[in-house]
Structure 1
């Protein structure tokens, strides 16, 4: 009897999980469609680029299929061309949508924190470890390169904050490399759209295990600002680029 009840419970749990997956998939498709509609209205070149890429790849596939001389090979090549064309068109959409979001976020308070929290990979981000009353902020990132401090706001106000954070952090971490830079479009600054690329180009100096140890040690430093002093971020709730890209990969 107990076995029958367990079997029934398992079936109910599986059915519930399946329904949850369907609902999540439907929500992702809805979000992607909404993002596409918004981008299409703002970016007049989006559809021509997507359609052009799709047509070009399919045309090449058809030419290869005709030259193959085999009916089976021709069908497979054309199908592959259609799939590849759709994939490239979708990648174009994702890239142009990402650029649009970064362009809107450029110069707004909290933009760097938002970009860091959406990084791909095993980065440990602590936003707002220091800030000024003018919403200038310093964010800490722990990764394979070591410890990275990212400042946003006025360079003249942020640079002293960066120097202070580097000094008090160096006391705890010894020889682990420390990097720092300011996000912006001025001389020597890193543009917001190139922030992730800039981080990934840094050399790998420590292991993932060392990252865990660093995170534990640096947690003791805490933050010297209150939650009200931290910029809340520049973007509306619907503008989560990484979430959109993850949805695209699941499709």
Structure 2
């Protein structure tokens, strides 16, 4: 039987774990503060909205406490401060997210990046089809079924979507297939509303069926390697000739 750690080793291990947690927490706070400073400089309405929400909620809580009187009055003040801070933080998070999507919109690889950051049990395969101009189709498997998300020029993306839907339908039978084109035109879905749009689709299959679909569709492969797709949104002026040549060869 293996000997247990002596008290000194156990104490050192606990101290090391505590120090690691503190370092990670400090790093997160630093990143959050940095994000706040960047957003504050870019978004002039951020601070007024955050301060206004905080003051309004605290004032409402104090008024409710004064009206109720007694012990409730003393409870409502700290409760109002906590709620006010929470709402202010939510406002910051939402405006920062909106800003990120606004910057990414229209850039190459933005849809793939947005899909990789989806919350929930979505199975994403980026770049199942693409052109040399970085028009791309990404495949998503979820409770609604199979969803193809196209980004790029609609004129070039639509034939890619039709082709992928056709070859996928041969394998999956009656499972629903949806297609989405990212953009701001008629019938298109803005990048910032992509996750909301996916979550609104009806649940047609179970988690077990999702696993089965993923296995079957893996056999289809992709028409371009994952390495050929950008890892995130690329600025419009980025030099992409080398990568485009790679895509064309594939």
Deviation digits for residues 199-222 of structure 1, max 9, x if unmatched?
000000011111111111111112
Are 2:167 and 1:168 aligned?
Answer: yes
Q: What's the TM-score once normalised by structure 2's chain length?
A: 0.89
> Structure 1 residues 171 and 38 mapped into 2: Cα distance closer, same or farther (>3 Å)?
same
Asked if the contact 1:46–1:96 (Cα under 8 Å) also holds between the matched residues in 2, the reply is yes
What does residue range 101-140 of structure 1 map to in structure 2 within 5 Å?
101-140=100-139
> Structure 1 residues 143 and 81 mapped into 2: Cα distance closer, same or farther (>3 Å)?
same
Asked if the contact 1:184–1:192 (Cα under 8 Å) also holds between the matched residues in 2, the reply is yes
Deviation at 1:169, TM superposition (A): 1.0
Asked if the contact 1:109–1:232 (Cα under 8 Å) also holds between the matched residues in 2, the reply is no
Are 2:151 and 1:152 aligned?
Answer: yes
Asked if the contact 2:126–2:226 (Cα under 8 Å) also holds between the matched residues in 1, the reply is no
Deviation digits for residues 217-245 of structure 1, max 9, x if unmatched?
11111211134542332169xxxxxxxxx
Question: Residue 5 of structure 1 aligns to a residue in which SS?
Answer: coil
- Distance in 1 separating the partners of 2:65 and 2:9: 52
5+ residue gaps, structure 1, are 237-251
Are 2:214 and 1:210 aligned?
Answer: no
Paired residue total = 235
Structure number with the bigger relative contact order (C-alpha 8 A, sep ≥ 6) is 1
5+ residue gaps, structure 2, are 236-250
Deviation at 1:10, TM superposition (A): 4.6
- Distance in 1 separating the partners of 2:221 and 2:73: 62
Correspondence for 2:33: 33
Question: Residue 222 of structure 1 aligns to a residue in which SS?
Answer: coil
Asked if the contact 2:127–2:138 (Cα under 8 Å) also holds between the matched residues in 1, the reply is yes
Q: What's the TM-score once normalised by structure 1's chain length?
A: 0.88
Correspondence for 1:42: 42
Deviation at 1:6, TM superposition (A): 6.1
Deviation at 1:186, TM superposition (A): 1.2
Correspondence for 2:59: 59
- Distance in 2 separating the partners of 1:125 and 1:16: 37
> Structure 1 residues 157 and 6 mapped into 2: Cα distance closer, same or farther (>3 Å)?
farther
Correspondence for 1:242: none
- Distance in 1 separating the partners of 2:126 and 2:180: 15
> Structure 1 residues 22 and 175 mapped into 2: Cα distance closer, same or farther (>3 Å)?
same
Correspondence for 1:141: 140
Question: Residue 180 of structure 1 aligns to a residue in which SS?
Answer: strand
Question: Residue 3 of structure 1 aligns to a residue in which SS?
Answer: coil
- Distance in 2 separating the partners of 1:233 and 1:126: 14
Question: Residue 176 of structure 1 aligns to a residue in which SS?
Answer: coil
Question: Residue 148 of structure 2 aligns to a residue in which SS?
Answer: strand
> Structure 1 residues 2 and 89 mapped into 2: Cα distance closer, same or farther (>3 Å)?
same
Cα-Cα RMSD: 1.8
Correspondence for 1:240: none
Deviation at 1:13, TM superposition (A): 3.8
- Distance in 2 separating the partners of 1:153 and 1:116: 15
Deviation digits for residues 32-78 of structure 1, max 9, x if unmatched?
000000000000010000000000000001111111120x2111111
Q: Which moved more, 1:19-28 or 1:120-129?
A: 19-28
